[in-house]
Amino acid sequence: MLTKNLFAAALCLTSVFAFSSCSKEKESTPKTEALSAEVMGQIKALGFSADDVRAVDKGYVVEGDMLLTPELLASAPGYGTLRVGDEEQYRTTNLVGSLPRTLTVSLASGFPAAYSTAIDEAIARYNAANLQLHFTRVSSGGDLPVKYSADLGPGVLGQSGGFPSGGNPAPGFTLVPNVINSTNVNYIATIMAHEMGHCIGMRHTDYYNRQYSCGGRKANEGASTVGAILIPGTPSTAEPNSWMLACVGNGVNRPFTANDLTALNYIY
């Protein structure tokens, strides 16, 4: 899930600002020791971080804003990674199938007006990339519904519905406007595009080193059970502006970088 955190300048590689993070604040995160050894083992075997795993109604939230259902864990689908350099873009092995394909996106009632403009902007960013995945907005019942919530926990901005399953995208995501607390269309569109990325199979750009955008201790979870694939021709340096970084500053706009587009076009 996305939450708001504040880090010191020394922990930021770009500038000093208040961060909106995919990590839940530690004081309100359940202890991972409460989860069974079997569940923790499944999460680790699939290459996901075992830090701050949260049990929720529909499964387990890992790496802050990604939902793994018990069915996905039990099926051992073999999540892999797609790497651009050492700290770059990643994906799961579960992707949207039947390409080329159009996915519909709907926005629930209750959102401020800026969110309507922002979802159109997020859709436009993907469509401008000329992928085999095209997105179009519908009034309701979308493949990717954007759901409204008044509260997902202290400081929580939003939570992804998970990853693709059976060739279909994850069933949308949930946002909390009163915690996002902004009418900045590009900032909201960045949050939406990030969660859309999870829904089509993208993981955090700084998966190998979450400290890069979120601060705290360095965490390298490895390449998972099926390895990491380096995209030819992409740099090995870190990507400071990727839309899939785990944490984003308040009000920050992150349209796709050149490396983001390379990763998206490689996959779709």
Residue with more model confidence, 179 or 6: 179
Q: How confident is the model at residue 61 (pLDDT cuts 50, 70, 90)?
A: confident
In the chain, domain spans: 2-267
Query: What does the alpha-carbon distance between residue 117 and residue 188 come to, in Å, rounded to a whole number?
Result: 9
Residue with more model confidence, 171 or 31: 171
Residue with more model confidence, 178 or 235: 178
Q: How confident is the model at residue 216 (pLDDT cuts 50, 70, 90)?
A: low
What's the one-letter identity of residue 244?
Answer: M
SS3 content of the chain, % helix, strand, coil (to 5): 25, 20, 50
The average pLDDT across 98-125 equals 97
How many CB atoms within 10 Å of residue 100?
A: 9
Examine the pLDDT at 178 and tell me if it is beyond 60: yes
> How many CA within 13 A on the CB side of residue 190?
27
42-46, 185-189, 258-262: range with highest mean pLDDT: 185-189
Examine the pLDDT at 262 and tell me if it is beyond 70: yes
> Element (H or E) spanning 188, and its range?
helix 185-199
Under DSSP, the state recorded for 159 is E
Cβ contacts of residue 78 below 8 Å, gap of 6+? 46, 93, 225, 226
Q: How confident is the model at residue 253 (pLDDT cuts 50, 70, 90)?
A: very high
Q: What is the mean pLDDT of the chain?
A: 75
Q: How confident is the model at residue 45 (pLDDT cuts 50, 70, 90)?
A: low
Position 26 scores a pLDDT of 31
Q: How confident is the model at residue 14 (pLDDT cuts 50, 70, 90)?
A: very low
Query: What does the alpha-carbon distance between residue 260 and residue 203 come to, in Å, rounded to a whole number?
Result: 12
Q: Yes or no: say if 117 and 185 are a contact pair by the CB < 8 Å rule.
A: yes
What's the one-letter identity of residue 231?
Answer: I
65-79, 143-157, 241-255: range with highest mean pLDDT: 241-255
Position 145 scores a pLDDT of 97
Give the pTM.
Answer: 0.74
Question: Token digits for 140?
Answer: 């309701």
Find the angle CA(228)-CA(87)-CA(198) to the nearest 5 degrees.
75
Examine the pLDDT at 31 and tell me if it is beyond 60: no
The helix-helix angle for 113-128 and 185-199 (nearest 10°) equals 60
CATH number of 2-267: 3.40.390.10, 3.40.50.300, 3.10.20.600, 3.40.718.10? 3.40.390.10
